[in-house]
Chains A and B, each alone.
Chain A
Amino acid sequence: MNAVATVAMNEWRIGRRNRWVLVGGAALAILALLLALLGSTPGGAVKASQTAIVTVSLTTLCVYLVPLLALILAQDAIVGESERGTLILLLTYPLARTSLLLGKFSGHLLLLAAALSIGLAAALAILLANAVPTAGDWLLIGRLWLSAVLLGAVYLAAGYAISGLARDRSAATALAFGLWLVSVVLYDVVLLILLSVDLATDAFPWLLILNPGDAFRLINLSGFEAVEMASGLAAALPDLPLPPHALWLVLAGWLVLCLAIAGRLLQRREA
């Protein structure tokens, strides 16, 4: 077994044993269940499928929850090992620091994907109880899961960068929470304020797609007429400067950039 797989297996084992998957999955599942139950009794005159309505709700849930779960998992990865005194030993092994980072990333991504699967499976169970999903419905759910995993991967990598930068664990926690607050909550609020006072109107579509959370939202709320109708997206959004498929590349770009920064910081860190 190579070094990346060994580190990944260790992280998976630790995550399972400290009930991270269970707690993360349960948090997602409870909220997803609530949304699915609410979405299964649509009112009003919206002509959208039940799956489309639930997908919109789950997308919003994931935009907030997935980055938070990923940051909680990753912010301790380097600085935590350093403070516990386990990093110094690891770095004396014949193991490249990049392998250590990629191993942690793989293990954590597996944990996050497992938690997401539990959460989405709960919502799916409600949908299946009410109707037989069409091929289009499966595609919506599959796209949501895959893009949520990619969004989680971006925030895991950002969490490692924070963990490689922070001097101690409390600083890493504060930085991680700050990043979540700014990129997930405040960023959209500021964009809306700018838009409402007619500032940065031309740059708005670009500013929107450059935020990983918004890119994820746009991936899941576009392309399907039913979802666009359910989310009101078709009417509310200006033309995007990139086709919806390119939004996946935005997320992949953030992932590569954050992993590169984290790798650089880990290389420079003294044990």
Chain B
Amino acid sequence: MIDVKGLVKRYGNKTVLDGIDLSVAEGECLALLGHNGAGKTTFMKIVLGLVRADSGWVDILGGAAGRREARTGIGYLPENIAFHPMLTGRETLETCCRLKGRAAGEAGGLLERVELGEAADRPVSTYSKGMRQRLGLAQALIGEPRLLVLDEPTSGLDPMLRRRFFSIVEEFKGRGVAILLSSHQLTELEARTDRAAILRQGRLVAEGALSDLRRQAALPIRVRLRSESIDSIHDQLGGRRINGQSLELTCAHEDRIGFLRRLTELPVDIDDLEWGMPGLDDLYAHFDEQGGQRP
């Protein structure tokens, strides 16, 4: 769906994207991570055909970015989505449907789907940020898209709406739709993305499935134990005492099985155990820092 090789984009003397290789397959979700200005939005704009790359190979839905077939097959939700305030939600979505070559009648179903059915005939100027974001998602879903490009899609949504938003995205993913999304909400992406790509100052510093990234980063796993015999465990395994009954330990990723074995062989009772794998935010911080140290 997206196949990009050696992508370079410069604005004047500034290199915004520097030799990016990335791909997103059918039914796959790739999270694009990076600080503001890392090149995420420029990458998305190139995928959408809004900006031309200076060099590199870009294949979107089997051809050049920005051609009519590619634009018909892509649903895009920009960061800070805006619509004309004078038009109602229904009028806005009907216009979007017609511009995508679809029947205006599709708008009603989409509005219901994003739970805007009751507000459909109110002007967009009366909508909250969350409602505008849902209207934005509805327009991105017009016409059975094959690729969804979502730039910070959940900013401004409350936790319930975020959950609903991702359930719709999951449904499309299940139908084979490829998804490229960027977000600063790393924790919520963790369970919902297949792969992550971390950009830093226009360079790709890490890319892969979360399990691969964990392996590459080799960040320690945090283990928190609670026991009546915490002093004895502390003497044998070390670690950091949290309070009278708890202890925090770390173990290397590759040693996790051996560590578990050592725990079970302890001659004391363990009341509780919390196993903290490095999260996406830990991985992001690690690779971002590593990328910054490279020449």
Contacts and interface: CB of A to CB of B under 8 A. Distances in A.
Nearest to A6: B98
Interface in B188-209: none
Interface stretch (A22-30, A43-51, A83-91, A170-178): A83-91
B87 A13 contact: yes
A170 to B, nearest CB: 19
B137 to A, nearest CB: 12
Given A94-B100, A95-B99, A85 B82 contact: yes
Nearest to A100: B99
Nearest to A5: B98
B86 A14 contact: yes
Interface string A1-42: 101001101100110011000000000000000000000000
B29 to A, nearest CB: 20
A93 B76 CA distance: 9
Given A18-B86, A85-B80, A85-B81, A6 B99 contact: yes
B50 A88 contact: yes
B57 interface: no
Nearest to B85: A84
Contacts of B91: 10, 13
Contacts of A1: 98
A183 to B, nearest CB: 30
B53 interface: no
Interface residues of A, number: 23
A130 B251 CA distance: 100
A94 B98 contact: no
A208 interface: no
A174 B51 CA distance: 28
A3 B99 contact: yes
A95 B99 CA distance: 7
A270 interface: yes
Contacts of A95: 99
Contact of A6 (B48, B51, B84, B95): B95
Contact of B96 (A17, A84, A93): A93
A186 B230 CA distance: 91
B71 interface: yes
B17 interface: no
Interface string B68-81: 10011010101011
B78 A10 contact: no
Contacts of B48: 92
Interface string A154-180: 000000000000000000000000000
Interface in B46-70: 48-51, 68
Interface string A70-109: 0000000000000011101111111100000000000000
Contacts of B95: 6, 9-10
A271 interface: yes
A94 B72 contact: yes
Contacts of A86: 82-84
A10 B83 CA distance: 12
Contacts of B83: 86
Given A92-B71, A92-B74, A93-B99, A271 B86 contact: no
Interface of A: 1, 3, 6-7, 9-10, 13-14, 17-18, 84-86, 88-95, 270-271
Given A13-B86, A85-B81, A93-B99, 11 more contacts: A6-B99, A10-B91, A13-B91, A84-B82, A85-B82, A86-B83, A91-B50, A92-B48, A94-B99, A94-B101, A271-B45
4 cross-chain pairs, A with B, having the tightest CB-CB distances, nearest first = A85-B82, A94-B71, A6-B98, A93-B99
8 contacts: A1-B98, A3-B98, A14-B84, A88-B78, A89-B78, A92-B50, A92-B76, A271-B50
